[in-house]
Amino acid sequence: MNSMKSYLLLLSTLCIAVLFSRCTGKMSAQNATQSSRSTKGLKDYYKNYFTMGVAVSPRELRTDAAKLVAEHFASVTPENAMKMGPIHPRENEYFWSDADTIVAFAKKNKMKVRGHTLVWHAQTPNWLFTGANGDTVSKQLLLQRMKDHITTVVNRYKGSIYAWDVVNEAIDDNNQLYLRNTAWYRICGEEFIAKAFEYAHAADPKAVLFYNDYNTENPGKRDRIFKLVKGLKDAGVPIHGVGLQGHWSVNNPSREELEQSIKMFSSLGLQVQVTELDVSVYAGRQGGQLINGQRDTSSTFTAEMEQQQLEKYKMVFDVFRKYKKELTGVTFWNISDRYSWLDGRGRKNYPLLFDRNLQPKKAFWEVVNF
Ligand code: G3I
């Protein structure tokens, strides 16, 4: 009897030992997988799908975030440095330093650069719209100024910048209207859009030229953007792509809305890129606007937010991979939760794949585990 007991004891000990070694072996393999996988960058996981990019500032490239940018991305977009105001503050004065810093970083790290943006209603200096005696500039002079700006900037970065957001956000958010009521439109009429593309193409015939906008999954706005870009294409204007900015949130867009947008714009023979991707942890379109201006004091990234966000990132990247023939690039807007343009709305946001310590979040693993 004793020998039977000792046999059973030995057998159960052996079983526990085998189970334990399998369990620790599995965990270490998983950890090893994650640690080895995390040495693989986003761009490596997606090298057979599309270019993975990120918007940056010169300041961030002087911090520890620079290493993450070089490891995970194959393209950079200047968040602000190449907009009209920052790069051309006065009529006869350009400020190249910040833009040059970003282009030099890209060159050093063998990355591509998306130029952003040549013509926009925001961050545009007042001198552009002001005539000699302080009145509103004429259409002819404004188009000449636009041409000089685009020619100077595009020429400077010819060969370094592969794609430009030529015109940004020209369509109004109000479904009853068409073009946004901007100084460009009021002074030049719709013609400023085609002219911008023609000037950019003349300056660099090799650059891929995009029309860029947000809420492109909102059916009403999408239809009016489609009308604009189809009209440009049909008129022989050198437009090559549409940028879906992708300022989404945990509850938008739906898979159907996103697929419809990619299908519609690519049906025109245009490239599609997601140019400013982030998934706000607050509901609503365009990154989750403050509801009635209510300041949200929640400064924690809750487990519920994280779960909703990883589900949204999983869905959109499933769609991106499905349309890899139509989608030529996906660019995140800002590097990590350390800083997001969305933070300026009276509350901290957590819209990206890397946390404030630059570590991959759960959403990162959803994006790369396919
Ligand atoms: O550089 C000045 C600084 O000298 C000054 O002291 C400071 C305070 O006034 O302002 C600084 O400029 C700010 C700039 O960001 C650089 O930080 C501007 O005020 C501020 O308006 C600007 O915000 C940018 C915003 O575009 C402008 O509308 C955001 O960083 C940028 O992320 C955001 O990006 C846009 C895309 O270009 C187009 N799609 C939407 C997206 C989000 O709005």
The amino acid present at 318, given as its one-letter code, is D
| Cβ–Cβ under 8 Å, residues 232 and 193 | yes
Is the Cβ atom of 276 under 6 angstroms away from ligand 1? Answer: yes
Catalytic residue among 60, 198, 217, 276: 276
Instruction: List, as one string, the DSSP characters of 280-303.
Output: ESS-SSTTTPPGGGPPP---S--H
Lowest-pLDDT choice from 5-14, 160-169, 229-238, 270-279 = 5-14
Percent of the chain with pLDDT over 70: 84
Q: What is the mean pLDDT of residues 191-202?
A: 98
**pLDDT at 33 (0 to 100):** 42
Burial class from Cβ neighbours inside 10 Å (0-12, 13-18, 19+) for residue 6 reads exposed
Model confidence, pTM: 0.89
**pLDDT at 348 (0 to 100):** 86
Question: For 90-119, how does the pLDDT look when each residue is reduced to its tens digit (9 = 90+)?
Answer: 999 999 999 999 999 999 999 999 999 999
Residue 282 confidence class, pLDDT cut points 50, 70, 90: confident
How many whole angstroms separate alpha carbon 337 and alpha carbon 122? 24
Q: How many whole angstroms from its chain centre is CA 83?
A: 16
For residue 229, count other CB atoms closer than 10 A to its CB: 22
User: Which of helix, strand or coil describes residue 171?
Assistant: strand
What's the topology of domain 41-368?
Answer: TIM Barrel (3.20.20)
| Cβ–Cβ under 8 Å, residues 114 and 76 | yes
Place of tokens 């209207």: 177
Question: For 224-240, how does the pLDDT look when each residue is reduced to its tens digit (9 = 90+)?
Answer: 999 999 999 999 999 99
Catalytic residue among 60, 79, 169, 217: 169
Higher pLDDT residue, 300 or 339?
Answer: 339
User: Is 169 known to be catalytic?
Assistant: yes
The amino acid present at 214, given as its one-letter code, is Y
CA pseudo-torsion sign 230, 117, 42, 254:
negative
Instruction: Specify which residues 329 forms β-bridges with.
Output: 51, 273
How many whole angstroms separate alpha carbon 275 and alpha carbon 76? 10
Q: Is pLDDT above 80 for 213? A: yes
With both helix axes pointing from N to C terminus, report the angle between 191-203 and 219-234 in degrees, rounded to the nearest 10: 60
Lowest-pLDDT choice from 7-11, 245-249, 300-304 = 7-11
Q: Which residue's CA is the nearest one to ligand 1's atom 43?
A: 341
User: Is 366 known to be catalytic?
Assistant: no
Is the Cβ atom of 334 under 6 angstroms away from ligand 1? Answer: no
For residue 214, which atom of ligand 1 is closest to its CA?
A: 39
**pLDDT at 109 (0 to 100):** 98
How many whole angstroms separate alpha carbon 206 and alpha carbon 111? 17
Q: Is pLDDT above 70 for 321? A: yes
Element (H, E) at 11: helix 2-39
